[in-house]
């Protein structure tokens, strides 16, 4: 009997996850992963994966650095063996991988990283040893010259001695012995410097023959005079090798002494690598964290089988185990029943392995034993037919499954007589219900669909089918069984129409009636769903239109309020300006009348200032009077005239050639005849003009204004009106409350105060004054 792990293809998922692991050990661990049946352990695994996802894709940290498989390196080092240069470099990479993981996680201050911080707290490494290995070991087979002072000294002596030997042998290449040499070069045989001599002259060169060429034409001779130097060179080579072995042994010993700690740390690094692989796989398939439970409950929204093409797969929503224990899934062949069933079981196993699932956030999945009988398990070796293999699987399921186990059975009772198969399927489903199991069963049996209607705790569901186009829609519909539509699909697949029609004739009347009923119900449901969708679309459209009208109405209301406030502010500004102008004119007139004696020009200037003030205060309903000019020849004493330059009336006292003397109120002035006009019509009651400075406050001014909750547009007219009142009241300092908030209102208040003509300066409130939520302004 194949395990649920194999039948639901969890192995393929884990193999895909392992591709994202960095370390070979991590890849192997993922491929051999077994789903946990402990709810607490599942929560922990998923939390690790969630933190790994945050580290990788939000914080940009947490990648594990590669190091080669450990093998027995650490064990041999602990036993005192000297590791090779390459093996020590591998140890350095192990130490570096531990250190990098530790640094990348512990340097973060993110409070959501908890489990990984605890994992990294257990890591042990030796940064100094890692650095020394990197400094002393140059490559897989080379130790650096400066690995130790002694090695540096030995290698220096070897280089110098080699140069001396070459220099001595170079004489043979340039001297009388040159004619005995085969080639003009110095070579090495057996770690000793030699020269190539022609075989016929080997006795002409004193020394020791170390080798002969393959042709025999050349012998390699070590001249006597370099014998001692070559011996010394050999001694130095032995010293060099001993020092290199001492360095390797020292580094290996230090590695061996921390074997236990390093082994534990490397295991933790591998564990972290598996979670980073889980996180990256989940990110690639757009998976979300599920919510595991131990009650056998499945609730998946828009789930997608991870082995299907993301662009082609139709998301499916499934719920089972809470309101009903079993879902009986029916519908057309190739409609997605088996894929949906396998997806639910696979999601449960993925969650139990700490993997996220490609569905909407918060998918509820069962943690516990998952039993599965899916597909054709026919076994030639065990001499089992398809039916027999299913019975073996069902036997084991009924034997092992218990309360809250999740059971998946694809078409029970198949492969034998339909009547007996239906009876068997009912009995199996009833037995599982009595055991307290939960699960999903697919079927084409009409009797089993009727059984689901009659039995409490079982819900019918169907995969939608478009009866018009004869094609599956791959959508799960709850509450009603689905028709198999086998004959319709056969017709679509090209089976002869007469054969399909003949097959329909062989159907029993009961079967035809049941199928027609189911098909009619399905078509009615599809039409109802379309109507619901259309109604929902209309409702949404009208809601959007109503909301748009409400927004326009609110916008109009705010514009109206803003206009009114702006108009009021403008009116206050004009009044304020006119008041200031009038006060300035009154002040100038008062200055004139403070003089002990008034000249004619003073009076004219005072009258001009008065007229200027009057012109500034005239309304459109009271336009200035336009006087008619007098004929200079008609002037005579006693006539009432109007002086144009002074805009006042007077009486003619005497008339000269060019000027006339006029009595204007309490003063006499001489005015040019051309500046005299007919007087204004006199009123019944002579109104006297009084000049008076009215400095009383027009409205009550408050030393504080609260602008909290206002928009910038609402604030400006209110603040300007408040400041105007404060100026008229003679207030020297005001308190403006705008609150802290986002700072936009405060910035707008400060911008207005900077350009206000009556503001001398402003500052934020101090401690006890409201601090940055209040601005204190000083008025001029």
Residue 466, pLDDT score: 60
Give residue 373's Cα distance to chain centre: 41
Q: Which of 147-156, 535-544, 679-688, 703-712 has the highest mean pLDDT?
A: 147-156
Query: How far is residue 216 CA from its own chain's centroid?
Result: 78
Q: Which two tokens stand for residue 449?
A: 């669909």
Q: How many C-alpha atoms does 637 have within 13 Å on its Cβ side? A: 4
**Token pair of 198 as six digits:** 């022609």
Q: For 394-424, what is each residue's pLDDT tens digit?
A: 888 899 888 878 999 988 877 777 788 888 8
Q: Residue 463 forms beta bridges with which residues?
A: 331, 476
Q: How confident is the model at residue 695 (pLDDT cuts 50, 70, 90)?
A: very low
Residue 513, pLDDT score: 60
Specify whether the CB–CB gap between 354 and 42 falls below 8 A: yes
Yes or no: say if 368 and 402 are a contact pair by the CB < 8 Å rule.
Answer: no
pLDDT of residue 619: 42
Backbone angles phi, psi at 706, to 5 degrees: -110, 115
All residues at 6 or more sequence positions from 305 whose CB lies less than 8 Å from its CB, including other chains: 313, 339, 342, 343, 346, 358
Whether residue 778 is predicted with pLDDT greater than 80 in this model: the reply is: yes
Mean pLDDT of 614-642: 68
> First-to-last CA distance in the chain?
96
- Length of the chain equals 780
- Cα gap 64→120, rounded to integer Å: 12
Instruction: Output the six-digit token pair for 192.
Output: 């000793």
pLDDT digits (tens, 9 = 90+) for 571-600: 777 777 777 777 788 787 777 777 766 666
Task: Give the model confidence (pLDDT) of 8-34 as tens digits.
Answer: 999 999 999 999 999 999 999 999 999
Q: What is the rounded distance in angstroms from the CA atom of residue 474 to the CA atom of residue 305?
A: 12
Query: What does pLDDT average to over the chain?
Result: 82
Least confident stretch, 8-12, 262-266, 292-296, 578-582: 578-582
Placement of tokens 């005079």 in the chain: 225
Query: Which residue shows structure tokens 């192990």?
Result: 94
User: 438 near 405, Cβ under 8 Å?
Assistant: yes
Q: Report, as an integer, the average pLDDT of 66-88.
A: 92
Per-residue pLDDT tens for 645-668?
A: 777 788 888 888 888 888 876 567
For CA atoms 477, 481, 487, 490, the dihedral sign is positive
Q: How far apart are CA 715 and CA 705, in angstroms?
A: 10
Beta-strand ranges (E) seen in 151-297 are 187-189, 192-198, 207-212, 218-223, 291-293
- From its phi and psi, is residue 649 left (phi > 0), alpha (psi between -120 and 50) or beta? beta
Model pLDDT, residue 239: 92
Pair of tokens at residue 541: 């459209």
Residue 379 is classified by DSSP as B
Q: What is the 3-state secondary structure (H, E, C) of 647-674?
A: CEEEEEEEECCCEEEEEECCEEEEEEHH
Beta carbons within 8 Å of 478's beta carbon, 6+ residues apart: 319, 459, 460, 461
CB count in 10 Å sphere of residue 325: 22
Query: With bands split at pLDDT 50, 70 and 90, how would you rate the model's confidence at 250?
Result: very high
Helix, strand, coil percentages (3-state) for the chain, rounded to 5, are 50, 15, 30
Among candidate residues 566, 389, 305, the one with its CA nearest the CA of residue 2: 389
| Rounded-to-integer distance, Cα 319 and Cα 326, Å | 10
Predicted confidence at residue 687, as pLDDT, reads 43
Mean pLDDT confidence for 436-443: 90
List beta partners, residue 553.
none
CB neighbour list of residue 237: distance below 8 Å, 6 or more residues apart: 158, 191
Of 183 and 155, the structure prediction assigns the larger pLDDT to 155
Distances (CA, A) of 425 to 1, 392, 441, 442: 19, 14, 10, 10
For a pLDDT cut of 70, what percent of the chain falls above it? 82
- Residue 698 has a pLDDT of 40
* Rounded CA separation 43/292 (Å): 7
**Lowest pLDDT segment from 328-342, 523-537, 722-736:** 523-537
For residue range 629-648, list pLDDT tens digits in order. Answer: 888 888 888 888 888 777 77
Task: Supply the Cα-derived Rg of the chain in whole angstroms.
Answer: 53
Q: From CA 664, how far away is CA 676, in angstroms rounded?
A: 12
Check pLDDT > 50 for residue 723.
Answer: yes
Between CA 402 and CA 431 the distance in angstroms is 11
Q: What is the mean pLDDT of residues 540-562?
A: 84
Task: Report percent pLDDT > 90 for the chain.
Answer: 34
* Mutual angle of helices 127-136 and 85-106, in 10-degree steps: 140
User: Are 315 and 303 spatial neighbours (Cβ–Cβ below 8 Å)?
Assistant: yes
- Three-class SS state of 185: coil
**All residues at 6 or more sequence positions from 38 whose CB lies less than 8 Å from its CB, including other chains:** 367
3-class secondary-structure state, position 197: strand
389 versus 613: the higher-pLDDT residue is 389
Q: How many other CB atoms sit within 10 Å of the CB of residue 396?
A: 13
Q: How far is CA 8 from CA 5, 13, 439, in A?
A: 6, 10, 14
Count of beta carbons in the 10 Å neighbourhood of residue 353: 23
Are the C-beta atoms of 474 and 314 separated by less than 8 Å?
Answer: yes
Which of 148, 54, 133 minimizes the C-alpha distance to 96? 133
Mean pLDDT of 683-692: 44
State which H helix or E strand residue 461 sits in. Answer: strand 458-466
User: For 79, phi and psi rounded to 5 degrees?
Assistant: -80, 0
């Amino acid at each position: 009997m194949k395990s649920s792990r194999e039948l639901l293809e969890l192995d393929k998922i884990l193999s895909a996850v392992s591709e994202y692991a960095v370390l070979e050990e991590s890849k192997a661990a993922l491929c051999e992963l077994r789903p946990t049946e402990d709810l607490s352990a599942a929560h922990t695994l998923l939390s690790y994966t969630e933190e790994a996802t945050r580290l990788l894709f939000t914080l940009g940290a947490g990648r594990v650095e590669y190091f080669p498989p450990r093998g027995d390196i650490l064990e041999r080092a602990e036993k005192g063996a000297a590791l090779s240069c390459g093996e020590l470099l591998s140890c350095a990479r192990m130490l570096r991988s531990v250190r990098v993981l530790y640094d990348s996680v512990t340097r973060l201050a993110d409070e959501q990283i908890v489990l990984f911080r605890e994992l990294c707290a257990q890591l042990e490494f030796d940064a100094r040893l890692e650095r020394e290995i990197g400094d002393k070991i140059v490559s897989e087979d080379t130790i650096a010259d400066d690995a130790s002072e002694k090695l540096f000294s030995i290698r220096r002596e070897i280089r110098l001695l080699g140069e001396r030997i070459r220099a001595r042998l170079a004489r043979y290449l340039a001297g009388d012995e040159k004619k005995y040499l085969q080639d003009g070069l110095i070579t090495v045989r057996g770690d000793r410097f030699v020269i190539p001599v022609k075989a016929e002259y080997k006795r002409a060169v004193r020394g020791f023959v170390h080798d002969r060429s393959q042709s025999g034409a050349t012998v390699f001779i070590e001249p006597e005079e370099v014998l001692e130097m070559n011996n010394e060179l050999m001694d130095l080579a032995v010293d060099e090798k001993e020092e290199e072995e001492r360095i390797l042994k020292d580094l290996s010993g230090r590695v061996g002494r921390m074997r236990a700690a390093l082994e534990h740390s490397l295991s933790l690094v591998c564990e972290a690598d598996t979670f980073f692989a889980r996180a990256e796989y989940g990110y690639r398939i757009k998976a979300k964290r599920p919510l595991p439970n131990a009650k056998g409950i499945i609730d998946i929204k828009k789930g997608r089988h991870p082995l299907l093409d993301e662009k082609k797969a139709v998301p499916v929503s499934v719920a089972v185990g809470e309101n009903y224990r079993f879902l009986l899934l029916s519908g057309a062949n190739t409609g997605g029943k088996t894929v949906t069933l396998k997806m639910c079981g696979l999601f449960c196993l993925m969650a139990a392995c700490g993997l996220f699932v490609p569905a909407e956030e918060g998918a509820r999945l069962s943690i516990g034993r998952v039993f599965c009988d899916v597909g054709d398990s026919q076994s030639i070796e065990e001499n089992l037919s398809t039916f027999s293999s299913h019975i073996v699987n069902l036997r084991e399921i009924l034997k092992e499954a218990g309360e809250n186990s999740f059971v998946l059975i694809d078409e029970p009772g198949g492969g034998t007589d339909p009547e007996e198969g239906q009876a068997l399927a009912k009995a199996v489903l009833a037995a599982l219900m009595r055991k307290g199991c939960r699960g999903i069963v697919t079927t084409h049996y009409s009797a089993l669909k009727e059984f689901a209607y009659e039995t409490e705790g079982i819900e019918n569901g169907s995969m939608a089918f478009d009866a018009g186009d004869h094609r599956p829609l791959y959508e799960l519909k709850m509450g009603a069984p689905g028709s198999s539509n086998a004959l319709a699909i056969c017709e679509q697949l090209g089976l002869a129409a007469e054969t399909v029609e003949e097959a329909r004739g062989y159907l029993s009347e009961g079967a035809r009636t049941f199928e027609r009923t189911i098909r009619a119900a399905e078509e009615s449901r599809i039409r109802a769903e379309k109507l619901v969708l259309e109604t929902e679309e209309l409702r949404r459209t009208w809601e959007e239109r109503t909301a748009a009208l409400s927004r326009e109405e609110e916008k109009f209301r705010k514009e109206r309020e803003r206009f009114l406030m702006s108009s009021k502010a403008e009116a206050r500004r004009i009044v304020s300006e006119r008041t200031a102008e009038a006060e300035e004119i009154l002040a100038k007139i008062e200055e004139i009348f403070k003089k002990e004696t008034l000249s004619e020009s003073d009076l004219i200037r005072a009258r001009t200032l008065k007229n200027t003030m009057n012109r500034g205060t005239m309304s459109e309903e009271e336009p200035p009077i336009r006087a008619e000019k007098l004929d200079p020849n008609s002037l005579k004493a006693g006539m009432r005239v109007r002086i144009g330059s002074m805009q006042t009336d007077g009486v003619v006292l005497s008339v000269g050639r060019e000027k006339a003397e006029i009595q204007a109120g309490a003063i006499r002035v001489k005015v040019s005849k051309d500046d005299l006009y007919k007087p204004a019509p006199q009123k019944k009651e002579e109104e006297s003009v009084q000049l008076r400075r009215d400095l009383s406050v027009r409205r009550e001014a408050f030393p504080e204004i609260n602008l909290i909750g206002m928009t910038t547009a609402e604030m400006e007219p209110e603040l300007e009106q408040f400041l105007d009142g404060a100026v008229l009241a003679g207030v020297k300092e005001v308190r403006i409350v705008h609150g802290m908030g986002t700072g936009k209102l405060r910035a707008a208040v400060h911008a207005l105060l900077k350009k206000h003509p009556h503001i001398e300066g402003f500052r934020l409130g101090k401690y006890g004054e409201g601090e940055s939520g209040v601005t204190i302004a000083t008025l001029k």
